[in-house]
Structure formats: C-alpha cells, structure tokens
C-alpha cells in the first residue's frame, strides 16, 4: 500500500463516506486503493486521522469499483442521519447526564482535576458507553463530539466534524497555549494557563486561526508532543499563526514526559510551564522588501 496520502475534495470525495473533506486516500484519483475515513469505523484505527479501509490490491483496482458501487446506496441514509444531529444540544444532554462520582473517577484516572474537565464540558453518553468532549469551531459552536471510553479507547460521534476543545470562560488577550487533545488542554488549565486543545497533531488549523482572530492573544505558545508527527504539526501551525498574532513560540515537554499531561503528573507547576514557554524563541512574521533601483 502506498504512503503518498492525499486529501479528499468535492471533486474527488472519500470513497468510503462520500464526503469531500477530512478524509484521505492513496492511489489514482479515479481509482484509489485505500482510504483513511474520519467518519466510518473499521478494525484498523490510524491515530486521530480516522480508520483505514483497504479498497483494492495495487494490481487489481477493479475490486475498488465493485466495493464502491455497493457502498453508494447507503450514503443518503448517512447524510440524513448526520444532518439530524444537533451537536450543541447533544453535548449539553451528555454533560447533564454525567454523574459526579463518574467525573471523579475520570479525573483520578487521568491525573487531572474535576474543575478542568468541567470547564471542557465533559459529559457521558450511555449510548456510546463513553465520556464526551465537545469539539467547537473557532466561534465556539459545537460541531462534533470526541468520545473516550473508560478503557481509554477514543472515537467520535458519527456525523460531526473535528474542532477545538475550548474551555468555558476562556480569557481574551494574554498568552494562549495550544495543546494536543482535550486531556492535555485540561492539564494546562490545571497548571493555571489559558489553553485550548486541537483535535490532533495536525488538525484544527482553520478553527485555531478563527479563534485567535476572535480572542486576539498577545502571544501563542504551541506545546507539541515530542515525536516527529507532533513537531511537524507544531511547525506547520506556527508558520500559519505568525500571520495572526505578534509572537508564536513552539516547544515540547521535557524528555521525561511524552505529553503535557505526563509533564503535569510528573510534578510540573505553573512556574515550570511558564519558564519552559519563556525559554522558547519567539517567532514573528518577517516581511522583506526590495529597494527600488533606478
């Protein structure tokens, strides 16, 4: 199977869910051999990108055409179901359904406080047997829901979109920190920082731009996971955000911590977080002009 994954579009929609955004495919545009669908589950999860669907062997692409024809009739039903979901209402209903003792157990298992989880409007879905974390667009509207099962497994409610994990009563101005995922965001909130979580190491870029334009922070600090995908995603986001804000910093947790939450559990305090952020170089938008010659 090839590694040159391409983003779907309206002209070349996902062969699994039929949508023109979020998903990836590999192979020829008219006859892909595999897809990573962000909406349709399969036994093979590919991180936060979605689920892998092998559509055909490289040397037998006719199989893809057969599979695709079988899948097409189910798309109208999927679209009607997705359109019927009011994610704002669903998020509120799940939040109201979460019992205090269940919230306590979740907080204890994650090494977080119930206060930070409440600020992220965590809830419980009996239908999915999972905790819920609302995902929001840059304006704060709920556009999807991330699910976290008690065993740590993660997925999303079908029909939604990726968005940001934005705490209640987020402050404008100041320094805005961006972490990966809701629990790392909660870790920064427990550390006393202003923070949001992106849906993955490379997701949520457009929504972050909209949020930054709305909140107008003096500075943005991107705290990426220390692995290659995390750093690549952080670099990409930093390159974009320098056009939105006066200063951008990019850093990773110390070597002994794989992510922000592990850093917090290891004993990091607000002073530790702020010292690490202050030590990271500031990136600014550089504009070069050429002097006219006569």
Which of 21, 52, 81 is the endpoint of a domain? Answer: 81
| Structural domain count, the chain | 2
In this structure, is residue 18 part of a structural domain? Answer: yes
Residues 113 and 16 in one domain: no
Give tens-digit pLDDT for 218-237: 999 999 998 999 999 999 99
pLDDT at 208 over 60: yes
What's the pLDDT tens digit per position in 91-120?
999 999 999 999 999 999 999 999 999 999
Q: Which long-range contacts (CB under 8 A, 24 or more apart) does 277-280 make?
A: 277/175, 277/177, 277/221, 277/223, 277/249, 277/251, 279/251, 280/221, 280/249, 280/250, 280/251
- Distance CA(160)–CA(98), nearest Å, equals 21
φ, ψ at 71 (rounded to 5°): -80, -25
Q: Which of 1-10, 29-38, 276-285 has the lowest mean pLDDT?
A: 1-10
Whether residue 179 has pLDDT greater than 50: yes
- Residue 79 predicted with pLDDT over 50: no
Kindly provide the b/e burial profile for residues 40-56, where b requires at least 16 CB atoms within 10 angstroms of the residue's own CB.
Answer: beeeeeeebbbbbbebb
Q: Are 117 and 160 in the same domain? A: yes
Q: Which range among 57-66, 181-190, 194-203 shows the weakest confidence by mean pLDDT?
A: 57-66
**pLDDT exceeds cutoff 90 at 85:** no
In this structure, is residue 289 part of a structural domain? no
- Please, which residues have CB within 8 angstroms of residue 111's CB and are 6 or more apart in sequence? 261, 264, 265
182 and 70 inside one domain? no
Residues 41 and 22 in one domain: yes
Residue-number span of the structural domain to which 173 is assigned: 87-279
Is pLDDT larger for residue 67 or for residue 129? 129
Q: What is the pLDDT of residue 69?
A: 32
Same-domain check for residues 75 and 22: yes
Question: Is position 191 within any domain?
Answer: yes
- Does the pLDDT of residue 2 top 80, yes or no? no
The pLDDT of residue 291 is 54
Q: Is residue 288 part of a domain?
A: no
pLDDT for 70 = 31
User: Residue 244 and residue 171: Cα distance in Å, rounded?
Assistant: 17
Q: Is residue 126 one of the residues assigned to a domain? A: yes
Q: Kindly report the average pLDDT of the chain as a whole number.
A: 86
- Per-residue pLDDT, averaged over 22-34, amounts to 85
Is the domain of 142 the same as that of 260?
yes
Same domain flag for 104 and 74: no
Domain membership of residue 287 (yes or no) is: no
Residue 248 in domain: yes
When pLDDT is cut at 50, 70 and 90, the band that residue 82 belongs to is very low
Asked whether residue 15 falls in the same domain as residue 48, the answer is yes
Better-predicted residue by pLDDT, 65 or 164? 164
Statement to judge: residues 18 and 108 lie in one domain: no
Write the pLDDT tens digit of every residue in 55-65.
865 444 443 33
Q: Which CATH number does the domain housing residue 243 bear?
A: 3.40.1360.10
- Model confidence at 177, pLDDT cuts 50, 70, 90, reads very high
Residue 267 inside a domain? The answer is: yes
Closest CA to 274 of 246, 292, 249: 249
User: What's the pLDDT band for 167 if we cut at 50, 70, 90?
Assistant: very high
Write down the pLDDT at residue 78: 36
Kindly state whether residues 69 and 116 are assigned to the same domain: no
Report the SS3 class of residue 21.
Answer: coil
The encoded tokens of residue 101 equal 């003792």
User: Can you tell me the mean pLDDT for 270-291?
Assistant: 85
Q: 275 and 220: one domain?
A: yes
Do 60 and 188 fall within a single domain?
no
Which of 49, 81, 113 is a domain's end point?
81
**Contacts for 196 with CB less than 8 Å, ≥ 6 apart:** 164, 165, 166, 167, 170, 176, 177, 178, 179, 185, 208, 211
pLDDT band at 27, cuts 50/70/90? confident
Categorize the per-residue pLDDT at 54 as very low, low, confident or very high, splitting at 50, 70 and 90: confident
Domain boundary pick from 60, 81, 102: 81
**Token pair 């949001």 is at which residue?**
196
pTM: 0.70
Higher pLDDT, 74 or 160: 160
Q: What's the pLDDT score for residue 245?
A: 93
């Amino acid at each position: 199977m090839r590694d040159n994954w391409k983003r779907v579009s309206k002209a070349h929609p996902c062969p699994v869910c039929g949508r023109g955004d979020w998903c990836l495919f590999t192979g020829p545009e008219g006859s892909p051999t595999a897809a990573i669908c962000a909406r349709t589950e399969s036994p093979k999860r590919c991180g936060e990108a979605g689920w892998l669907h092998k559509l055909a062997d490289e040397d037998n692409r006719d199989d893809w055409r057969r599979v695709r024809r079988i899948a097409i009739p189910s798309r109208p039903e999927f679209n009607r179901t997705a359109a019927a979901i009011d994610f704002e209402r669903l998020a509120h209903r799940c939040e109201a359904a979460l019992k205090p003792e269940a919230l306590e157990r979740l907080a204890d298992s994650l090494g977080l406080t119930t206060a930070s989880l409440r600020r992220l409007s965590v809830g419980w879905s009996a239908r999915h047997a999972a905790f819920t974390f609302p995902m929001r667009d840059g304006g704060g509207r709920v556009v999807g829901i991330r699910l976290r099962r008690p065993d740590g497994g993660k997925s999303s409610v079908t029909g939604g979109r990726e968005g940001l994990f934005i705490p209640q009563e987020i402050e404008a101005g100041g320094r805005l920190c961006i972490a990966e995922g809701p629990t790392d965001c909660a870790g920064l909130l427990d550390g006393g920082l202003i923070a949001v979580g992106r849906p993955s190491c490379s997701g949520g870029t457009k929504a972050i731009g909209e949020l930054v334009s709305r909140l107008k922070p003096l500075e943005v600090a991107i705290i990426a996971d220390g692995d290659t995908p995390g750093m690549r995603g952080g670099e990409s986001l930093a390159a974009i955000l320098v056009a939105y804000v006066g200063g951008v910093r990019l850093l990773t947790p110390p070597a002994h911590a794989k992510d922000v939450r592990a850093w917090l559990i290891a004993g990091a305090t607000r002073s530790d977080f702020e010292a690490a952020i202050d030590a990271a170089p500031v990136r600014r938008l550089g504009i070069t002009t050429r002097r006219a010659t006569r």
